[in-house]
Amino acid sequence: MGVTALAPAALAAGAAMSPGAAASADSSKKVRIGVVGGGFGASFQWHLHPNCEVASVTDLRADRRKRLRDSYRCDTFFDSLDQMLERACDLDAVAVFTGATDHYRHVEMCMNHGLHVISAVPACFSLEEAEKLKALKERTGLRYMMAETSYYRQATIYARNLFRTGGFGELFYSEVEYYHDRGDLQKLVDNKTSRFYAPDGSRTWRWGLPPLHYPTHSLGFTVGVTGERMRSVSALGWGSSHPWIDENQYSNPHWNQSALMQTDKGHMVRCNVFWLTAEEGERAQWFGDKGSLYMRKGGLHPAKQRERTHEAEELRIPDYLNSDMLPEPMRVSSGHGGSHTFLSAEFINALVEDREPAIDVYESLAMTVPGIVGHQSALKDGEQMKVPQFDKPA
């Protein structure tokens, strides 16, 4: 498995270890974490980190509570997040993996209890929530991290190293994509409840979700490589008559949305998020005046790397999984292109080392907010709109 290739010097640069997920220094400190959300939240590796203990778990649904208990071998469980926060007095942090529209509310609950938080994506659902999240982090001084999987896909780690060592030259244009076809919208698929329905038959937050309100799997490939901020966006959308379109809580008319963004460095980013498409997965292409890098579709996948004066050639992504980027017990296969172990390790390492995580609140908002504004642009037939900034005070 690989990505596509430059010259030997550039390849060596891309093979260097990426900062931000390095194994923590030897320490006896234990981070006691609570996990809320037994769907996606059961697929991380907190229990494998030598400095972490899963101290309690919770979900509103009994079947998901059991899944969390089994996944993390944790016998301390609660029926709700409220109960966990009231009764579990010895927690240091909480992993919030609830429905996307609840992320800010649940993060606020946890941080107001003095707990560090990692949450699933997106970080927020409105500009008001973005402002509140930034203020919450700065008021409490606690750590916040967003679990953006594209940041730790193996090709992204390679691209980030390549950028930091100058292998792209000036990286002037990126194409970043997230395709997740809606699939079958029936209530039962393969005798399991569809992700669009709760067990009681009601529709979940996923029904009719505006595509660009879920932009981070795409923008993680740009913000997570160059650190640039999106300054303006113009977006278009496409929809068709269907209950998913005509009867959703967001008044969203689009299955698919595509945005053209400009960064604070004057560079271009084309960002796609599609829900109705004969395609699947996340991918990116990065174009520089010195070198370019191309990911193929799918998860951990080959890509192409090219220098202006050389033919493109296949290359192999370094084996980051089995490097000292991860504590040895965590060097296991995980979801979203191997990213889950890196996300788990980075959050725990940041707490042990008393530092901000790589995907801190400012990076998280930089990956989230442009999509919120992009959706508004798509509702206005592509009107170019300014993206407000939520960065660290000077």
Task: Look up tokens 């800010």; give the residue.
Answer: 104
- State the average pLDDT over residues 6-23: 48
Nearest Cα to Cα of residue 11 among 259, 357, 307: 307
Domain 2-10+150-326+359-386 has CATH 3.40.710.10: no
The one-character DSSP state at 48 is G
- State the average pLDDT over residues 281-305: 75
CATH of domain 19-149: 3.40.50.720
Please report which confidence band the pLDDT of residue 313 belongs to, taking 50, 70 and 90 as the band edges.
low
Please report which confidence band the pLDDT of residue 301 belongs to, taking 50, 70 and 90 as the band edges.
very low
Please report which confidence band the pLDDT of residue 64 belongs to, taking 50, 70 and 90 as the band edges.
very high
Q: In this predicted model, what pLDDT tens digit does every residue of 131-183 receive, in sequence order?
A: 999 999 999 999 999 999 999 999 999 999 999 999 999 999 999 999 999 88
Domain extent listing, the chain: 2-10+150-326+359-386, 19-149
Between 21 and 208, the more confident residue is 208
Q: In this predicted model, what pLDDT tens digit does every residue of 67-108 receive, in sequence order?
A: 999 999 999 999 999 999 999 779 999 999 999 999 999 999
Both tokens of 259, joined, read 């945005």
The one-character DSSP state at 197 is B
Both tokens of 293, joined, read 């890098």
- Determine which of 40-44, 103-107, 226-230, 363-367 has the lowest per-residue pLDDT on average: 40-44
Please report which confidence band the pLDDT of residue 373 belongs to, taking 50, 70 and 90 as the band edges.
very high
Q: In this predicted model, what pLDDT tens digit does every residue of 186-217 receive, in sequence order?
A: 776 665 668 899 888 899 999 999 999 999 99
Per-position b or e across 64-76, b if 16+ CB within 10 A of its CB: bbebbbebbebee
Question: Are 196 and 204 within 8 A, CB to CB?
Answer: yes
Please give the share of the chain, as a percent, with pLDDT higher than 90: 74
HSE-CB of 144 using CA atoms within 13 angstroms: 32
Distance CA(54)–CA(188), nearest Å, equals 32
Between 16 and 68, the more confident residue is 68
Examine the pLDDT at 309 and tell me if it is beyond 70.
Answer: no
Residue 243 confidence (pLDDT): 94
Both tokens of 363, joined, read 């990076």
Examine the pLDDT at 236 and tell me if it is beyond 50.
Answer: yes
Q: Which phi and psi angles does 272 have, rounded to 5°?
A: -110, 140
HSE-CB of 174 using CA atoms within 13 angstroms: 34
Please report which confidence band the pLDDT of residue 23 belongs to, taking 50, 70 and 90 as the band edges.
low
Question: Are 132 and 108 within 8 A, CB to CB?
Answer: yes
Task: Show Cβ contacts of residue 371 under 8 Å, excluding neighbours closer than 6 positions.
Answer: 122, 212, 213, 214, 215, 216, 219, 259, 271, 273
Query: Cis bond leading into 122, ω under 30°?
Result: yes
Distance CA(350)–CA(346), nearest Å, equals 6
Nearest Cα to Cα of residue 216 among 95, 140, 292, 130: 130
3-state secondary structure of 293: strand
Residue 22 confidence (pLDDT): 58
Examine the pLDDT at 387 and tell me if it is beyond 70.
Answer: yes
- Determine which of 186-190, 248-252, 268-272, 324-328 has the lowest per-residue pLDDT on average: 186-190
Examine the pLDDT at 26 and tell me if it is beyond 80.
Answer: no
Residue 314 confidence (pLDDT): 65
Mean predicted lDDT score pLDDT of the chain: 89
- Dihedral, CA of residue 9, residue 150, residue 172 and residue 369, to nearest 10: -150
Question: Are 92 and 32 within 8 A, CB to CB?
Answer: yes
Examine the pLDDT at 5 and tell me if it is beyond 50.
Answer: no
Question: Are 378 and 237 within 8 A, CB to CB?
Answer: yes
